[in-house]
Amino acid sequence: MSFEQGLSGLNAASQSLSVSGNNIANASTVGFKEAQAQFADMYANSMNRSGNSPVGIGVSTANVQQQFVQGNITPTNNPLDIAINGDGFFRMVANSGNQSPMYGRNGQFQLDKNGFIINPSENGAFLTGLPAGVTGGNPVPLQINTASLPGVMTTVAGTTLNLDSRDAVIATPFDANTPATYNSSTGMTVFDSLGNPRNIQTFYVKSGVTAAPLAVTTTWSVYATVDGNPAPPFVAPATQAAIGTLTFDANGNTTAATAAAQTLSVPLPASAGTNAFAVPINFTGTIQSGSNFASLAAPQNGNPPGVLTGFNIGPDGTITGSYSNGASNNLGTVTLATFANSNGLQPIGNNLYVASPAAGTAINGQPTSGGLGSLQARATEDSNVDLTAELVNLIVAQRVYQANAQTIKAQDTILQTVVNGL
């Protein structure tokens, strides 16, 4: 008589119950991947003939395998929550100095006091990726640079206008304080080397119309002030000089002599701590027509200083910072890792895994490339546990346990009968 089959069956059923219980316990754990107990039958080798005995000696647990199936993605309000939609694992390293990488799908991250992105485990493992401006190489712990952006001096400015061809020619010397001495004006803000705003006001005076035998040309003189001061400066009784002219043909387009790409330089006086500098003003696209004056665009490439107000993580892992001055800046890139055999990863708790020889070598890459999934910020991946299926598994495992207990009971009854008959 043998009790081995029944005992192995009890152990297998108990193992199945443990796996299902663990799955159910982690049904709400972000990024958790359910496990599946896999079993195999056992046979004893025969001593008096080749091959194995046709009667098995029970069951063994062959493997407990993680099921890396995509979980549902749930939106959140945390900008550092990240869900992976597709293949790949977050790569992390411990903050204890042990640089052996760990991998996981739980994207609940936060910033530590030094600006490093860490996971929610007790000691907070560092999320790794590529620093800002780096496009390749080994991933390193990602640190968000919260420093302010310095001001950027304006080096190129532009203004696109529609000058009213119906305006009268003005012969009176220009005076910025006398509206009757100019036809129209518009302003723009530029920035000095410290990012201080400087106001340029440009004034347009229709200074002449020439009727040639085959064409009509119109000339406009352009004047400017900087922070309310004449530019260029002058001393009375002299009058302010124009910074340039715009000449239009009969169709309202600038002539070859004053092409649309004409650049006019406005010298700016020095402010405290800055140097004087000139701002070229480009009039590309400016026209003259029979409609009211209009300023259509006034682009310039300077910026005031800015502080980091937030950041966003794109589908390709790029972390883009947003600043109070409207500028944006690359703060780094989250990378993912993939394996030839994800089922070879060994779980170590805290929703983390380590690589094993069975998993193969980790292949690191940028999300959306090389078969890797995309990232979704402000979202997390739910556990992929199917509670309904797990409850059914519990019932089945319970029945299997009871059935194996019955085989032991039957063996015991037969053995008792044999003993009593002797």
* pLDDT digit string, tens, across residues 78-114: 999 999 999 999 999 987 766 789 999 999 999 999 9
pLDDT reported for residue 1: 47
pLDDT reported for residue 257: 64
The amino acid at residue 280 is P
62 closest CA partner among 31, 107, 19: 19
- How does pLDDT run across 305-346, given as a tens digit for each residue? 999 999 999 999 999 999 999 889 999 999 999 999 998 999
334 closest CA partner among 203, 204, 150, 144: 144
Greatest Cα-to-Cα distance within the chain, rounded to the nearest angstrom: 140
- How does pLDDT run across 234-261, given as a tens digit for each residue? 888 899 999 989 999 888 888 766 666 6
Residues in the chain: 422
User: Strand order in 294-297's β-sheet?
Assistant: 287-289, 160-164, 294-297
Residues 6+ apart with CB under 8 A from 42: 8, 56, 57, 58, 59, 60
pLDDT reported for residue 162: 95
> In a 3-state reduction of DSSP, which class is residue 15?
helix
> Distance (Å, rounded) from C-alpha 127 to C-alpha 145?
15
Residues in the chain predicted with pLDDT less than 70, given as ranges, are 1-2, 45-53, 97-98, 213-214, 256-261, 269-274, 422
Q: What angle do CA 291, 294, 297 make, to 5 degrees?
A: 140
Q: Cβ distance 28 to 419 under 8 Å?
A: no
37 closest CA partner among 60, 5, 69: 60
Here the tokens at position 15 are: 């193992």
Helix 4-25 × helix 387-421 angle, to 10°? 160
pLDDT reported for residue 49: 57
Alpha helices in 150-211 (DSSP H): none
Peptide bond before residue 237 is cis, with ω within 30 degrees of 0: yes
φ and ψ of 337, to 5 deg? -125, 150
Q: Across the chain, how many H-helices and E-strands are there?
A: 2, 30
Tokens 């546990």, located at residue:
385
pLDDT reported for residue 263: 76
pTM over the 0.85 mark: no
> Distance (Å, rounded) from C-alpha 96 to C-alpha 66?
28
Peptide bond before residue 315 is cis, with ω within 30 degrees of 0: no
pLDDT reported for residue 404: 83
Q: How far is CA 118 from CA 81, 110, 125, 126, 141, in A?
A: 11, 6, 5, 5, 9
Q: How far is CA 358 from CA 44, 70, 149, 363, in A?
A: 28, 22, 47, 14
pLDDT reported for residue 357: 92
> Distance (Å, rounded) from C-alpha 115 to C-alpha 291?
55
